[in-house]
Structure formats: C-alpha cells, structure tokens
Structure 1
C-alpha cells in the first residue's frame, strides 16, 4: 500500500470510528436539544455508507493515480474532505460539551451555519461518488492480499459492488473468516481458490456465480468439505442477458456447490436453472434453520422443503414462474412436513395461482408449529389457503387482489371452497389488497349463528389491520362478537367504506368486555360516520339510542386512542363519545366536512391530549351552544389550520375550581378567524398552563387576562394587541415574539414588568422602522440571561441604556440586522459569556474599551468589515478578542494553527 493511500485509509478509518461515537454520544445529545437528532443520525449514516463506497475503490485509485491526473486530484480532494469533516465534527462536539444552560440560546446561532456546513459536506461526498464513476474506479482488494499467508480473518466492507478477488487468494490457507468471495466475469475458474480454504467458518457470501461456466471449477471449491460454515449465501448476478445464461450449466453448478450438511442458514438468489438439485430439501440437512430462495426466473416448482426437520424460517421471493405450490413442496412420502417451521413468507410471485393443501392423511398435520404467515404481491393467487394452523399468531396478506377471503362462512357459502379465516390462535391479522365476498358487507348475512362461529374462531386476534379492500362498505354485525379480544384496529385506504357499524349493532349488542384500545381510520374518502344513523319510528329503539348517547358506544368503552385522518366526507363523530371513560388521546385531521367535534356532553373525562388539524369547516368543539368544557385530565390541546373556528368553548367552573386546571400546553396555529381565547381556561390561580403557542391567528385581539402560571410564550404572525398586556405574566421565563405588526417603541411595551423572564427573542418586527431603539432604550427586564434580536432591517445602532441594567445577561445574539453598525460604545454587561453576531454586513465596531473579560465565546459570521478587523495578530480588534477561549469567524476556529 502506497503512503498516500495509507494516509487516506487511516483518515477514513478514524472517521468511521468518530461517526459511530458521535451518533451514540455527545453529538446526538446536542442535536436532540434543537430537534435535529434524527437529521444528524441520518447524515452520519449516509456519510458512513458513502465512505464505505469510497474506501472500496482506494486500491484501484492508488494504482492508477500515477498515470491518471484526474484520479490523483480525486484522492487529494478526498483527503481535504476528510480533514474538513473532522473539523466540523470537532466543532459540534465542543459545543455539546458546554453546560446545557449555555447551549439553548447558542444553538439558535449555530444551527443556520453548522447545518449548512453539514449539507455542504454531504454535497462534496456525493460529488466524489459521481466522479468515482466517471473515472472508472472499481472496487477491489489490494493485489498483494494473496501474499498474507498467515491472514486468518478477511472481512470485506462495501462488497456489494466489489468487482473481483485479488489473485492467489487460495494461498491464504490459514484463513478462518472470509465474508465475501466474488467471481468476476470471465474468471469463473477463480472459484477453485476456495478449495484450499479448508478452515473457513462462520458466514460466507459467494457472488457472481453466473460467471462460473465449468462445473469442474464449482466442484473444486469443495464447499461440502467446509464443516465450519454455518451460513452460506450463493448469488447469481442479474446483469447478464438471458441469452448468455445456460440453464443446464447453472443447475450442475448449484449441484456441485452443495454445502456441508451442518450448515444452518442457506440463501440462494438469482439462480437461473429450471429445477433444483436433489440436495435442496434433503432431510439430511438436519441443522438448517433458515432458508431463503429468491429471484428465480426459470423454476416452475418448489423443492421438497417440508422434509427439513429443523427448518424454522422459510422465505420464498420472486419465483417468477411458479403457478402451483403442490404436494412436492411438502415432500413425497413425508409423514410430518415442516415440523419445526415457525415463519413462512411468499412474496412477489406473479404467476402463483394455487396452493394445494396437505391432505394425504387426516391425522397428519403440516405446519404444526407455524406462528407467522406472510403472503405479499401474489396477484393471481385465488386458491385455498391452509386452514389448520393451530399455532398461528400473525397472518399478513397484502396485494393479492384475486384472493377471496371470507372472515366467516356465510350460510350460503358453507359448502364451498373459500379461504375462511377461523384461526383460533391468531393474534395479529393484516389484510391488504385482497377480495372479499359480497356476504361481508351484505346486511342479510350476519345472524346469531355467525356470531357464535365468530366468537369461536376469531377471539384470539388482538391486532388487526385492514387496507385497500375495495368492496368493504362496513364491518359485519358479528365483527366484534368474533373479535372479542381485539385491542388495536387500523383501517386505511378503503375507498367504499361509509360506516363502521350499523346503528342496530350498537343498539342491540353489548359486548361482555370491550377490549378495543386503539382505533385508527385513515384515507377512507366515503366514510360519513362511525355508526350508521337510522331513523326509528318506534319508541323502544329511540329510547335505547338516547340511553347509549349517555352511556357511550358499547364497543368503544375501553378505547384509549382515537385517530381519524383524511376522511373527506366524515360529518360527525359518534354520539356519546363524551362517555368514553378510558379515552386519553384523540387526533382528528384532514376531515373538511366536520362542523363540530362532539355532539353533546363535552370532552371525555379521561382525555389528556386533543389534537385537531385541517378541519376547514369546524365551527366549534361542541355542537350545543352555551355548553362548557369539563375535562380535568386534559394536559395538551393542539389546533392547527381550522380556518372557520372563531372561538373555543369555555371551561366549566365548579366550587371555585377550574375544570381545565391540568392543561399545560395550548398550541393554536393557522386559525385565521379566531378572535379570542376563553378566559375561563386560565382564570383560576390553580391553572397548570406552562406553554402557550399562537401562530398565524390574524384576528386574535388579545391574550387571556390571567396567565400567571405561564412559563413559555411564543407568538408568531399575530396582531400587535396580542402582546399589549404583560401584567399577569409574573412567572414567564421565555418569550418569543416573531413577525408581529408593532409600530410603537419597545420601551412602551412594558417588557420590564416581566420580572421572571430569562430568555427573550424578538424576530421580524417588520413594521417597527426604527433606526435606533429610542432614547429610553428597550426597557427590558433585568432578569434576562439570554437576548436575541433577529431581522430588524432598519436598526442602525444600539443604546447603552438597552444593556446597562441587564446585569445577568449571559448570551447576546444579533442576527440579520442589515444596517446595524456597532454595539454601544460604552460596552456590554460584565456578565456576558457568549456573543454571536451573524449576517450584519455593515457591522464594524466593538465598544471602545473592548469586550467583557467574562466572555467565553465569540461567533462572527457574514460581517465582512468586522472579520477584517478581527484578523489574527493583525486586525484592529485582535487585542479585544485574543483572550476569548473560543472565537469562530465564518465557521472557522481562529485559534486553529491552520486558520490565518
């Protein structure tokens, strides 16, 4: 390995280690502080994958750089990028080590610049990958690898696109671990090299087997003599055209690649032969527990896999020509097929039509231990499925549109061959893109006989998903009589579903113990209501309905979560919803036909979270005018984009107690017609409200009068009057005011009355056209520890009066004040720890006496004049900043030896 390659490889190895450490350590924690943890983790994962791709071509690049200047430049750019990545990660790590109290406001300054830098790194990585392809760099191992005769372990990263093995790999006779062996095009004979590696153990993946054209070469690999191999993956490529593939040769090659019978895991992929050799399914492979067969173009039948005595997991995918899974699948003459199988998957079988049941002997049962069955993307399957699976726990059927599934046999269908789901042990059931009989939604089918049968066969199901079932218009009467143990029900993308149950079901049947805890309905465009309303002329049903309006829907009495999304025609939620004593969270969004949330009775007593969004016709939470809310358990309410909602229902009061006393978060956004918030929610001193967020409520005139418990207030895009009264905000600690149309000076806002305020952010006050902040200053509370001034386009200077009383100020952040030229010449508070000035192109001056000696960090970005004056050792202000431990200018740590 050349010195240049060694340096780059070392840098890359170091970065791999650093990515792993940072993803699980301080960088992840730091990112979590501003909600960017997922993004940081995604970036680190992407970078790791990219580095693996780059690392795999380093050998080829090093060999070619002597004669190809473009590759030499590519390597130099890679080395530069490695250094830059290391630097940016060090900067994040340094910030992450600061005390949490210092990070929160600092983050506001770091995010716009550091995240941009991370994105730039990603772009440079992508550029290197693209240039790698243009330069024709190939993945290969060092050519002298075969000389390492004492090598015991060779694990190849980025092996998926590795082109070939190094020569003389067969000389590594001490090798015990070899992760991958690649047979390159035109070099099928190289598979012989495996023959000498008699000590191999663990897992081995052999790819490029379509390049083996001589059966003798395959036999020379001696896989059947490698007793230490536990896991073997054999891959034929799919890049060659069909004309170049020889079915007979591939069958013979696979036959010669028979592994030792102790192998536990076997995967065969991309095989082009017409049939399987006899060893596949041989019961002498008694240790095999996991088998994968995938992407076979020519095979028309499956091998006798039922004979494998220990097989626990079987995955069959992409068998393009298999039309029937017949008795040969179980094994001819096998007395106990699939005795240990627990998981069976059939995926992507476009021609599969029929699955023959095992009916050789009534006393012999196939799949005796099968617990999970998954069938996906088998568009022609219409035959009968096995219906005697005593241990089945999870059943998944997806994208099988011709497969007719009857949940229960109807009287007219009892003697017909149907796929009847009566698995008494199933706990998880997922049905998607299948066909159902007309008897499912038919009102005439659903008598007490079916209810009894349902209870017998479906009571074990606890989790059910129904998706893309086109004929489903409603659930049958017996549904909850069968699914008595159902806890979670999710219904998605059923285009004809209009209601869940007929009203008579809700009136006539009471479940013994309703188990349903979680109900989600999504993307059902014809859904009008959960219960079909019927006009009854008799007093009896009418009285029953009134009684259940008070008692609540019987099948939902144990419900803890209700979620409804994107049901365009939904007009109302069930009457009696208020009586659901267990409901803790309700989320309703994208239902434009809803005009109110609840019919009568108020909110459910146990409700803790209410989240409603994009209900464009919603006028009120409650249908009854004058009704007040009583919900002591409610902790948070979020309302977003309900444009027709003019006000919120007020809270009920009893014995001087607030019935919404435990609400801690109110978040209201995009309610353009809302004119006020109810005083009753906040009036009593026992209120626990901590966070109030108001965004884009253009008609909201004012905040409630009594907000004494509030600790955090954020207001965006609202009228000026909403921030006119601070008298009750005695416990407010954090205040954000963003894009408010205010014309009066800050000194008249009364902010100095907020005696508990610690953090203040003022952003985008577009109508505030001051050049300075008036002679009286801002009159801010002396308790402030963090102050952020962002986007004041006309601000030219700051007054000493703005800061002289801020004796606790630790962080000052000034952002995007395009005309601001200086800080107060008299200086800044001696308590200041961090100063951040960003995107202020005219900013030129520090105070005459310099910066506070207490300063620990200074960040300057997008301030070209100030940058020039802070040049290391030369600038006018160097003497003011040289004592500060951390100084970053335009994203560079100026005390770094490489920084000029």
Structure 2
C-alpha cells in the first residue's frame, strides 16, 4: 500500500486538465458563477455546484427528479465573501430546498457540503441509504441529525471543519464506517464506538467519565485503527477506567499497544485551549496514564502535550520504536529532566518546548547508560537526528554531557526563548551542523563555532551583541540578524567567509559597525530597519536589497557607485518575480492589491522563516520549515485559494484508488488545489493522486 505524507500535493498541467475535462464531459459537470443550466445535466453523474450566495441554493429546485436519480456525486460549495450573513434556519426556504434534495438523491454515493451557512441539516439526510462518503465543511453547523444512523453504507464521515460538539447516540449503527474524521471540538463520543470494528481512522478522541460517554477501553476492539489519532483530556483517564461499568469493551488493557497500523499519535492531558496553570493532578497518576497509553512500536510520529508528571515513563525513549522519526514534547511544565531520547536511533526531528522545570540537560538526555570507553554505542547518541529545536524553557541554564560522535547527522538546531541558557557544548560538538537559529538566549560560553554555514540570531541585549563580536565563525557564509540594540559590530576577522548578510525587522538598530571591512561579502539584504543609518559598504558587494530603510537609502544616494549595486539587487528581485509568474502565469492579471500580497510570500530558498512573526501555529508541524516553500502558512492557503478561483480549478475530483472510497466511483475532496494546509500529520484518508478538475 502506498501512503502519502500529509503535506504531499500535486499540480496538474493545463493540457492534462483539459483532456480530463473532455473525457469526462458527459458524466462530470461544474456549475459556477451562478449560471444554472439544467439542460446540461441530462446524463451527469458527478455534479459540482459553486455559488457566491447561499440563497442561490434555490436553483437546485430546477434539477428534475430523473436527473437526481442519475447523480452519484454532489459537491456544493458557497464562496460567500460577506461577513455577518444570516444563517439558514429551519424556517428558511433554502432549508426546504435541501430537505427536498435529500429526499430525491436516492442513489447518491458521495456528498460534500461546504460553507452553506446552515445551523443543522434536515432529518431527510437519513434517506441517503447508499451514501458512502459524507463531508461537511461549515463552522455554522453545530449538530447533525440523529437520522444519520440509518446510513448503513457510509464509509467516510468528515466533520473536521464544523462546530459539532457531540455525535449522535446511535452512531454505532454505522457498522461499515471506516473513517471518522472529527474536529477537536467534539467533546462527547457516545458509548458504542467499539462496535465500529471496520474503523480505520479516528482522528480525535476526548476522554470522558460520564456514563453515556465512550470508554477509552472500547478502542481495544478497533483492531484496524491506523493513521493519526489525537487523544485529549488524558487527565480524566484514571477516573474513566475506575468509574466505567465492566462490559465487553471496558478493561484495563493498554488500548494503543495493539494498534500496529497507528503511525501518528498526539496525547494531551487537557482539552484544546485549557489552562495548564489551573490544572492540578497527582504526578503518579499522570505517569500511570502515560504508561497505559503506550503505542505500538510501529509509531512514526509522537506528540505529548501538557503532561503533568515530573518524569517520563520508559516507553517514550524505548529503542524498540525503530520507526519513530518525529517527536514533539510541549508544555510538560513539571518535568525536571528530559528522557534519554538519544536511544531513539531513527529519530530525525525533535522539538522540545515549554519545559519550565528543566534547569540542566546532561548526559542522561543522550543515553540512560553512563558513558564508557569500551562501549561505542554510548558515543553515538541521536544517530539519525537532523532537526533539533528547544524553545520556551525559561529556567534552562546549562547543557553538557555531549560527546564526540553524538548527533552525527544533525544539520539544523534552533534555540529560542531560553533566556538563562549560558553553558553550551563546546566544539567539535555537533560537527555536522550547518545551520543554527538563536533567539532570546543568554550569552553562550562557546566562542569557536566551526563548520556552520548558516546562522540566524536575535540580538536582544548588549551582552548578546558583545558575544557576537567575540565569536569566531570560520565557515559561516549566510548570516541573518534581528537586533533590538542600537549598535552591532561585525568583523572580517571573525567572519572570514561571510557572503550574504541579511538584517530584518530591527527598528532599534542604528549602526552596523565594521560593515565596510567585510571584504568577502557579496550580498546585503536589509528589511524594515527604519532607523538604520548608512555605513560605507565593502567594494566586493555585488547585490544590495533595501526595503523600508529610509535613512540607509538616503545615505546611499550620496554614493553614486553603489546605486548600481542597488539596481542589481532590484534586477534580481524582478527576475525572481518573473520566475514566480512563469510558475503561476495567472498572477500577471491580478490587481495591484493582489500583487502587493505576493510580496508577503517568502521563498525558502532565499529566506528562513521566523516563528516570532509567523502567526500560524501550523509551521512547527512541518518536517522542516526550511523544506517548505512558504513561510506564512495562513496566507499561503489564502493565496492558493485565490489562485484556484482565477484558474477555475475548484473543485477537484479524486480518483478512488485508496481504501477510503469505493472502487466504483469518484468522490470529491475539498482542498486548495496544489497546496494542502493542516496542522497535524497525514491521515490514512489521503487519496493517491488528483486525476481531473471539473469546470
């Protein structure tokens, strides 16, 4: 079985798109721009309706009963840009339109409803007895009708983008359900989920202790469960096990250890947006809960949030997890020591944040065993790790215990908001590291930083500035600075190989000392440095880019020979824009406002993103932010949606080659064309490829 990563996406050539349209023209049709022509629906089996106003749903009444009987796929999407529009209620005429529609779609197999602005769906939804795929993408919807339990053939139920807080009581009747995709807002899961023995995907599970709430022990019967699952309210787990009545599902056996198809797991002791500071729990119980939720060794991705224990249980760092490649530990504020994660020999990505109780990281982080000259294994901690991040650890003061041979594959390390960190492993520690980001850290006690080629650093105090001026970077070629001090001094002696210097978002910065002496510098990029004064530039400079630097630009005008360098930088920017337009030719027709928005997109080949200025929480879940094309994920999604509208590429039909859908029909999947944005690892419901777009 071929599985795609959650971030995988594809673009389709226009010629392939046109060919697919031509071949499918008798069976597939897309109504757009509020143009309804029922004459074209005589033999249509797969219909997409895209309108700008939900009140235009009334046009669906013109579709005849005979045409509805032929229909197998229906995709309804409202692209209403107005805000504050009234929601459709039971008294609204459009509610009756949907009610009648569901009564006549007797042979429909796939139904997708997106942003139609309705509070609840008609009870006639239960009439769609042959429905295999149901996707609802509308935050207005807060409940689904109880009649959904009649959809015995339903295989996929997608409620991820809704405000539904509880599922119908009789959902356990959906015995053919394979994929149940839920929002984190679903707080109530009714008892009986264990009856869904064909279930392969359950994205969210909220632990509860009510009599009618699903007991976590019911997961024991879901032997096909795989993909990703997020378990919230783990703090209630002990109470749940103790209070639930004994039945054929409820028992104290570990529920996840037998789930060999599960490859991604998130454990959160709180619910979304709960406050850790107000949360108190017995530390021993927390360890028991974590031990109970031990997953199968096939796990590839693990995230633990808001764990209240003081130490992690052994399975978190067990070397038997040979497929575990990504690990995130977040807001485990009571933990005083990090687990020996160096034993995870295939771990590639490690992100540790919000560990307030950690003051020192020593050899125990690399291995449980004490270092021994006769043991070569102890000298090879984190053999596969390539990406390492520490952030928001306010009490962390020192890091040691790293030996030669540890971290042999590490390429990128980031340390941010660790203001007390001073003690740092000395070179040749992590000799493979090429790129490092430092932000809001103490003045590290390491001065010789060999082999690094890329460094991004935030200078927030004069102490940081002095440390920077004393460091020796013999191989550093690309340096990115953000300064909150008035003066930063750079030296050719300390930076003998520097080729590219980028200074960004440094409003307090006034002077860059030693700039003229950087004789190896060929490219200088300065952005949003409003108070930076002009300094003489090195003669070797070949490219200069300025953005929102009025004082520096004014001084540059007095150096006519440097204006040519500035023009060269502007020429390079134009060339990049031309290349961008070549990739996406529709952009040339955009308005000035839309063109201005393009400037907010930063291509990773030239510029590393900055979490401090990136409002999206999504970015930290990427395999590597440096491997992503766009930095601002929220804007990127909006950008591609606009691009889709220009190219009329929405909606997209997915070929049902994956087990999510039936093999006898194509089902729609609402997703921005060519770009997927989610904040979790991939689900098993991801299709293999896009085969055509209907328009």
- TM-score norm. by structure 2 comes to 0.56
Counterpart of 1:490 in 2: which secondary structure? Answer: strand
- Equivalences for 1:10-159 in 2 at 5 Å? 155-157=31-33
Give the 3-state SS of the residue equivalent to 2:370 in structure 1.
helix
Q: Report if the CA contact (8 A) 1:673-1:699 is conserved.
A: no
User: What is residue 685 of structure 1 aligned with on the other side?
Assistant: none
1:346 aligns with 2:182: yes
- Which of 450, 461, 466 matches 1:673? 466
What is the CA RMSD across the aligned residues, in angstroms? 5.9
Is it true that 1:421 corresponds to 2:286 in the alignment? no
Residue 722 in structure 1 maps to residue 514 in structure 2: yes
Give the match for residue 587 of structure 1: 414
The answer for the alignment partner of 2:394 in structure 1 is 568
Task: Decide whether aligned partners of structure 1 residues 323 and 205 sit closer, same or farther in structure 2, where only a CA change above 3 A counts.
Answer: same
| Runs of 5+ consecutive residues of structure 1 not aligned to the other structure | 1-23, 25-151, 160-164, 177-197, 332-336, 360-364, 535-540, 623-627, 646-670, 683-687, 768-788, 815-832, 835-900
State the distance in 2 between where 1:393 and 1:266 align: 24
| CA distance 1:574–1:483, shift in 2 (3 Å) | farther
Q: 1:564, CA displacement in angstroms? A: 0.9
Q: List gaps (5 residues or longer) in structure 2.
A: 1-12, 14-27, 272-278, 573-695
Pairwise CA distance, 1:760: 7.2
CA distance in 1, matches of 2:156, 2:329: 31
Task: Check the 8 A contact 2:455/2:479 in 1, yes or no.
Answer: no
Distance 2:498 2:133 in 1: 60
**Aligned residues of 1:405 and 1:420 also touching (Cα < 8 A):** no
Q: CA 1:500–1:366 in structure 2 vs 1: closer, same or farther (change >3 Å)?
A: same
Q: Secondary structure, in 3 states, of the residue corresponding to 1:604? A: coil
Q: Match for 1:261 among 83, 88, 107?
A: 107
Structure-2 change in CA distance of 1:761 and 1:292 (3 Å):
closer
Which of 462, 468, 471 is the aligned partner of 2:308? 471
1:604 is the counterpart of 2:430: yes
Alpha-carbon separation, structure 1, partners of 2:90 and 2:379: 65
Alpha-carbon distance in structure 2 between the residues aligned to 1:318 and 1:766: 47
| Change over 3 Å in CA distance of 1:813–1:229 after alignment to 2 | same
What is aligned with 1:491? Answer: 329
Per-residue CA distance 1:604-648 (angstroms, 9 max, x = gap): 122221221111x324227xxxxx55x4x4322333226365xxx
Whole-angstrom distance in 2 between the partners of 1:235 and 1:765: 44
CA–CA distance in structure 2, aligned partners of residues 641 and 233 of structure 1: 52
Counterpart contact for 1:406–1:419, Cα < 8 Å:
no
Aligned: 1:620 with 2:445: yes
Q: Please name the residue that 1:203 is paired with.
A: 47
Aligned to 2:662: none
| 2:219 pairs with 1:383 | no
| Cross-structure match for 2:384 | 558
Residues 494 and 523, structure 1, Cα contact 8 Å, conserved in 2: yes
Alignment check: 8 A CA contact 1:275 1:300 kept: yes
Aligned residues: 507
The Cα shift of 1:559 comes to 1.9
Measure, in 1, the Cα distance between the counterparts of 2:373 and 2:240.
32
Give the superposition deviation at 1:520: 0.4
1:109-142, CA deviations, whole angstroms, 9 ceiling, x for partnerless residues? xxxxxxxxxxxxxxxxxxxxxxxxxxxxxxxxxx
Q: 2:456 aligns with which of 638, 649, 652?
A: 638
Match in the other structure for 2:172 = 329
3-state SS in 2 of match to 1:303: helix
Counterpart in the other structure of 2:681: none
1:383-462, aligned counterparts within 5 Å?
383-384=215-216, 385-397=218-230, 400=233, 404=237, 416=251, 420-422=255-257, 423-432=259-268, 434=270, 457-462=295-300
**Is 1:279 paired with 2:97?**
no
Please say if 1:544 is aligned against 2:388.
no
Deviation, 1:426, is 0.8
**Structure 1 residues 566, 791: CA separation in 2 closer, same or farther (over 3 Å shift)?**
same
Change in CA separation of 1:577 and 1:407 when aligned onto 2, cut-off 3 Å: farther
What are the superposed Cα offsets for residues 708-736 of structure 1, whole Å, 9 maximum, x if unpaired?
Answer: 6554567995778625757xx3x554578
Distance 1:314 1:736 in 2: 46
Partner deviation per Cα, 1:300-351 (whole Å, 9 max, x = no partner): 6352366217x3454477585856644x5325xxxxx21xx54311336666
Structure showing greater relative contact order (alpha-carbon pairs closer than 8 Å, 6 or more residues apart): 2
- How far apart, CA to CA, are the structure 2 residues paired with 1:258 and 1:251? 11
Deviation per CA, 1:763-783: give whole Å up to 9, x if none.
Answer: 99999xxxxxxxxxxxxxxxx
Return the offset for 1:463: 0.9
Q: Could you say which residue in structure 1 is the equivalent of 2:554?
A: 791
Decide whether the 8 Å contact of 1:313 with 1:344 is kept in 2: yes
Structure 1 pair 277–255 and aligned structure 2 pair: CA distance change class (3 A): farther
Q: 1:489 to 1:407 in 2, by over 3 A?
A: farther
The TM-score, its normalising length taken from structure 1, stands at 0.45
User: 2:601 maps to which residue?
Assistant: none
- Pair 1:253–1:582, CA change in 2 (3 A): closer
Q: Is the 8 A contact 1:488 1:519 kept in 2?
A: yes
